[in-house]
Amino acid sequence: MNSHFEAFKTRAEAVSAEVHRFTGKEEALAFILAFLKEAGVSDAPECGAVWSAGPFLEGARSEELRAKVPGLTFEVTREGSAAAKVGISQMDWAIAGTGTLVQDATGVEKRLVSTLPPIHVALIGADRILEDMGGVLERLRPDQLNYISFITGPSRTADIERVLTIGVHGPGRLIIVVVDAFEEVTA
């Protein structure tokens, strides 16, 4: 059990992210399937889902998911992401102190699925939650990675009368799926 989870959840929810925790991969996948259905993901226009597949998904599983969810694709393009309703990606680290997700986003598809669709579902292993930013910067070195994203909650602005508005250019909803037994399934 990761001792930082509760702090992470509190901070992430304070900035309007939704946090769910599951013990294993199967439970997490079942949740994502149900969520995609509930969100109305289908092969109709503007209703698709784009998944920037990480180690969390083996090839066989992605075939199975694609069969179950019409409109879900693992081939991420700029246009596809812009037209999608949900983007799904796997994160590398999280920061408990601020409720932040961190991702080596060298592959541009990871940036596209977390920016363009109105809903972003982010997967993260519970043991990947670190205390602070310093710990992350020791592990993710930008001299080896083209792009690193730190994401804390959904897109927001307060440019009109300082009224908080969620979902400006980026997603209006950020669903964080924390999985306890993450490493063993991705090893």
Minimum Å gap between C-beta 92 and other proteins is: 13
Q: Which of 60, 36, 37, 38 is nearest to 50 (CA)?
A: 36
The smaller minimum CB distance to other proteins, of residues 24 and 97, is found at 97
HSE of 22 in the Cβ direction (CA atoms, 13 Å)? 15
Which of 23, 106 has the CB closer to other proteins? 106
Question: Minimum Å distance from CB 132 to other proteins?
Answer: 8
Smallest distance, other proteins to C-beta of residue 61, A: 24
Binding site for other proteins (CB under 8 A): 11, 15, 77-79, 82, 97-98, 100, 106-109, 111-112, 115-116, 132-134, 137, 141-143, 145-163, 165, 167-171
Q: Assign 174 to helix, strand or coil.
A: strand
Sole residue written with tokens 């199967």: 26
Give which of 8, 23, 6, 15 is closest to 174, Cα–Cα: 15
CB closer to other proteins, 69 vs 130: 130
Q: Is 68 or 78 the residue whose CB approaches other proteins more closely?
A: 78
Nearest by Cα to 5 from 151, 140, 131: 131
Minimum distance from CB of 48 to other proteins (Å)? Answer: 16
Dihedral over Cα of 23, 27, 28, 31: its sign: negative
